[in-house]
A and B are shown apart, each in its own frame.
Chain A
């Protein structure tokens, strides 16, 4: 009794609609979380040792230039046609946005603030956690928003290496059975997930930065043009 409704998923996908959504979120968000941890470490190193920043930036940019499908395919040899194969490149992709976002965020902390923290007896580690990171929160979240959107969109490509694309698997089935509704459902659901995730990130940023002015359109450029700052940073960073 398979219909052609928005939520009807062919049985060969072995998941319900909601199951695919959960799988998609898992495949998209674990890489973002992993990428954030990696980026926090790398960025801290880059701030501490300035000479490290340009090579790291170039390395991530060059890795980002390799198409996801190509990396999936090459990884198959090592990790098989599994979710890991999809999640490894997605994790590394996030670094291209997250590392510059965090480094620039931390570098934007004023000297006086740093000095004040040191004068209050903060050690390097405590200063990082209690002063530098909180001030860098808006920049980090701008990066996270870009990385999350890209990750959610890219998971679908995993469908091409043997049904590892979660909601993207509906796309290959749409072609296979010629059921356009499946493709509509996949695209709309993925886009809605991206928008929801973005809204949650904005909410999270606002909760973490209670000291920033709210509501007005007259705030920082980041408030005027969401997402733009990330690109700007990335561009500026790698053209240096």
Chain B
């Protein structure tokens, strides 16, 4: 009885590859939930973090909100939302977004704050508008840290979306949760492997994104 045996049995079984409960379907669902949650969290966290970072105002309030959000347990929030709203996408999205906003928000703020002030002053001296300074000077320098924040958020979302299956939604967690109830450890371990692989793939994607998007001048410092 070991993990490798379970893994090969799970992936070797042709029945796991087709239909409504097949691996491609579950994987696609998991990716969809994760992307949606990351998109919503980034749409809220990035602009707020960039603007507060640029102006330097509201850092304390931001820290407090982020800390408060961090102390909420995701699994608890998930069950609570499910009991409040019933089956659906909303009760799953709320905890995932709440989970992802604090790292994005706080790190973006910190990243923009920590940009060397001399190029910013130089840009201002050249007559650049504040918005342009933020987008053309501060953002590129802060980009590695911001990408890091998005990566952390994405990993946490993928990880937590596994639990979403507990409140009857799809995704890769379906294999894990159903397998646990059916005492089908092959299925459990197979599902767990898929989630882990997806998380690693995400790490790789962000590494690649960093290679492509971060200016070479910023990279080595």
Contacts and interface: CB of A to CB of B under 8 A. Distances in A.
Interface of A: 61-62, 64-71, 73-74, 76-77, 149, 152-154, 156-157, 159-161, 165, 167-168, 171-172, 174-175, 178, 180, 183-184, 186-187, 190-191, 194-195, 198, 217, 221, 224-229, 231-232, 234-236, 238-239
A159 B163 CA distance: 11
Contacts of B45: none
B67 interface: yes
B158 to A, nearest CB: 7
A238 B107 CA distance: 14
Contacts of B114: 221, 232
| Interface of chain A: mostly helix, strand, loop or mixed | helix
A227 B109 CA distance: 12
Interface residues of B, number: 63
A190 B63 contact: no
A167 B166 CA distance: 17
Given A69-B192, A239-B147, A232 B76 contact: no
Contacts, number: 181
Contacts of A67: 158-160, 162, 192, 195-196, 199
Interface of B: 1-3, 59-60, 62-63, 66-68, 70-77, 79-80, 82-84, 103, 106-107, 109-111, 113-114, 144-145, 147-149, 152, 155, 158-160, 162-163, 166-167, 173, 176-177, 179-180, 185, 188-189, 191-193, 195-196, 199-200, 202-203, 210
A191 B72 contact: yes
7 contacts: A65-B202, A66-B159, A69-B176, A77-B3, A180-B84, A228-B109, A232-B114
Given A64-B155, A160-B163, A180-B84, A187 B148 contact: no
Given A175-B83, A187-B73, 6 more contacts: A65-B155, A70-B193, A73-B185, A190-B71, A217-B60, A225-B60
B83 A226 contact: no
B71 A195 contact: yes
B145 A239 contact: yes
A229 B107 CA distance: 8
Contacts of A234: 148, 152
A158 to B, nearest CB: 9
Given A65-B196, A225-B110, A232-B107, A187 B76 contact: yes
Contact of A239 (B3, B77, B177, B210): B210
A239 B80 contact: no
B70 A174 contact: no
A149 B67 CA distance: 9
B60 A187 contact: no
A205 to B, nearest CB: 15
A225 B1 contact: no
